[in-house]
Amino acid sequence: MDHTVRVEQVGKRYGNKIVLEKVDLTIERGQIYGFIGPSGAGKTTLVKMLVGMETADEGTVTVLGKKMPNLRMLQEIGYMAQSDALYTELTGEENLRFFASLFKLNKEEQKQRIAYAAELVNLTPDLAKKAGAYSGGMKRRLSLAIALIQNPQILILDEPTVGIDPELRLSIWNELFRLKNEEGKTIIVTTHVMDEADRCDYLAMVREGRVLANGTPRQLTEQYGVNTLEEVFLRAGGKSK
Amino acid sequence: MRINALIQRICLQMIRDKRTLALLFVAPLLILSLMYVMFNGSGDAVKPKLGAVNVPAPVSQALAHADIEVIPYHDMDKETIVSDKLDGALISKDGHWSLLLENVDPTAAKAMQMKVGQIMAGLLLQNGQQGSMDLSQASSLPVEYVYGNADSTFFDVLSPILIGFFVFFFVFLISGIGLLRERTTGTLERLMSTPIRRGEVITGYLTGYGLFAVIQTVIVVLFAVNVLDISLVGSIWNVLVINLLLALVALSLGILLSTFASSEFQMVQFIPVVVVPQVFFSGIFALDGMAEWLQTIARIMPLYYAADALKGVMYKGYGFGDIIGDLLVLVLFVFVFIGLNVIALKKYRKPSASK
């Protein structure tokens, strides 16, 4: 199976408001796939459909060959929401352990994964602190560690680097590259930061519920005859008006 | 396993939140004690004084036991009552009993009259079978009790309802706000993006908060019975069973209603809508006198059944067989609310497309 995620003719509306319209996407295994677009474009709704938290009104979403929503697939999907959903009364480690125990992991694996995920996001020295006492960036990092906890095949990260300093952002991206290259993971990120979009293998430009363009960053810039993704973004946006 | 993880997490969160714990465990005791003090009236400071003429020792002992200061006299008239600042006098003369009351405060006088009446009748009940000649003459006081005894106060009737109410109220509030916080902080959504089942979430919540509800219920019941000495005629186990079921109702209802609230503030708004009306229908006010449609409304209130059962056990000494009907209704409430909860969670994760 070469494609990990397949979105076909997906539409979604809340009442009269069309959130997504005729979205088609194919995400291949081992890709870093970026959704770029302004706030309110429908990125988060799309991402939630991949996780099964939303259903499509029209069309189908398939993940690893299984039609979503599907409870069993969630073992293979690591999700990091836009807002940090942490238990602030609990310590970082307790948060990690709680989420780890929701997945099929034995005691030993659990320990290893917690240590690994904490190390990855540089939180090892702060694990004993309560999450409520964390800074914004630390909370974001803890959320990322939680998304990685069950060693999923697919990582879905909704604006993962918001509020994280450049140094840490770089180290997170390096880790994403490593996860992709060495472990063959499929990584889906949403972002509106263009230099991050540049690092993706493949991009889909989402605007007003539709995918305006998709391709590699190079394809996109060539297609629009511009030099930077930023310009693509503005062009694509302008065209829809 | 996942349920266990959820339960552990809830316990850990609760234990870290000392104030909520205090609210759950100490607040009911505080209010219950307060009401106890208020309803048990005078207290030591204004112990009523009762002159006793020719009153046999067991009666004056019983009166003294009921916080009435008994002062023996050989003779009694209205002037003596006024001059000696007595609240009343109990006079036994030629086999007839009479009570002379100062009646400055009609309520207090009435209370005194009732108290004395109760005590006399109580002694009569106790001693009647033993054939105590001494007191048989007291039969001229036409008071008899089906329930309760000489020490019965309004609080004894009220307290079973109060115990049930506190259990219901605090469990409702804390579980409702607990889950609401999960909704508003996004942790519930996050939880639903893991392979946990909706049923597991509900079970975990019911058990996690349920543990605290159980502790609270046991504390409140034990405190009421042992410290406040609220009358408990029936079995304490039945009282616990009723309260635990009621706590479960409150728990599942609180969790359910938190679905319809978007902030803690909105959750508190449910109190006058959902909690307070239940008090009115719980038997504090006699339901028999109410309009028929009001009585029908009472039937959809969980607290109505719990209060009925609690009153039955604590005051009337009902056994398990007598309250089984009420218990079944409570169980039904729990199942309905749990079912609705599972449905309500669909908001966060759609049911699987392929089974």
Beta carbons of A77 and B193 less than 8 Å apart: yes
Q: Is there a cis peptide before residue A69, judged by omega within 30 degrees of 0? A: yes
The model's confidence at residue A197, banded by pLDDT at 50, 70 and 90, is confident
Residue B212's contacts (CB-CB under 8 Å, 6 or more residues apart) are B11, B14, B21, B24, B174
Please report the ipTM that was assigned to this predicted complex: 0.82
Beta carbons of A98 and B353 less than 8 Å apart: no
pLDDT tens digits along A19-60: 888 888 889 888 999 998 887 888 888 888 888 888 888 888
- pLDDT score for B134: 46
Helix, strand or coil, per DSSP, at residue B60? helix
Please list every residue in chain A whose beta carbon sits closer than 8 Å to the beta carbon of residue B5. 98, 101-102
Number of domains in chain B: 2
Question: How is chain A split into domains, by residue range?
Answer: 3-239
Residue in A53, A85, A104 closest to B187 by CB: A85
Residue A173, chain B, CB below 8 Å: the answer is: no
- pLDDT score for A186: 92
- pLDDT score for B79: 81
Please list every residue in chain B whose beta carbon sits closer than 8 Å to the beta carbon of residue A75. 195
Superfamily assignment of A3-239 in CATH? P-loop containing nucleotide triphosphate hydrolases (3.40.50.300)
B353: in domain: no
Beta carbons of A89 and B352 less than 8 Å apart: no
Q: How many residues make up chain A in this entry? A: 241
The three-point CA angle A182-A185-A190 to 5° equals 125
Please list every residue in chain B whose beta carbon sits closer than 8 Å to the beta carbon of residue A51. 193
The one-character DSSP state at B287 is S
Q: Is there a single domain that holds both residue B208 and residue B296? A: yes
Q: Which residue segment(s) compose the domain that B285 sits in?
A: 2-38+153-347
- Can you tell me the distance from the alpha carbon of A117 to that of A66, in angstroms, rounded to the nearest whole number? 27
Q: Which residue has the higher pLDDT, B153 or B129?
A: B153
Q: pTM value?
A: 0.74
Residue A66, chain B, CB below 8 Å: the answer is: yes
Q: Is there a single domain that holds both residue B79 and residue B134? A: yes
Give the mutation candidate from A49, A62, A72, A89 for the B interface (greatest B CB count, under 10 A): A89
Q: Are strands A3-14 and A58-63 parallel, antiparallel or unpaired?
A: antiparallel
B43: in domain: no
B57: in domain: yes
- Can you tell me the distance from the alpha carbon of A162 to that of A169, in angstroms, rounded to the nearest whole number? 9
B26: in domain: yes
Please list every residue in chain B whose beta carbon sits closer than 8 Å to the beta carbon of residue A70. 352-354
Helix, strand or coil, per DSSP, at residue A32? strand
Q: How many residues make up chain B in this entry? A: 355
Q: Is there a single domain that holds both residue B271 and residue B174? A: yes
Residue B190: alpha-carbon gap to chain centroid? 39
Choosing from B75, B110, B140, the residue where a domain stops is B140
pLDDT tens digits along A116-146: 999 888 889 999 999 999 988 888 889 989 9
Beta carbons of B185 and A94 less than 8 Å apart: no
Residue with tokens 């939630």: A48
- pLDDT score for B249: 93
- Can you tell me the distance from the alpha carbon of B271 to that of B238, in angstroms, rounded to the nearest whole number? 28
- pLDDT score for B153: 65
Please list every residue in chain B whose beta carbon sits closer than 8 Å to the beta carbon of residue A83. 185-186
Average pLDDT over every residue of B97-108:
75
Residue A107, chain B, CB below 8 Å: the answer is: no
Q: Is the pLDDT of residue B355 over 50?
A: no
Q: Is the pLDDT of residue B141 over 70?
A: no
pLDDT tens digits along B279-304: 888 877 777 777 788 888 888 889 98
- Can you tell me the distance from the alpha carbon of B333 to that of B286, in angstroms, rounded to the nearest whole number? 23
pLDDT tens digits along B147-205: 655 556 667 778 888 888 888 998 898 888 888 888 888 888 888 888 888 888 888 98
The model's confidence at residue B145, banded by pLDDT at 50, 70 and 90, is low
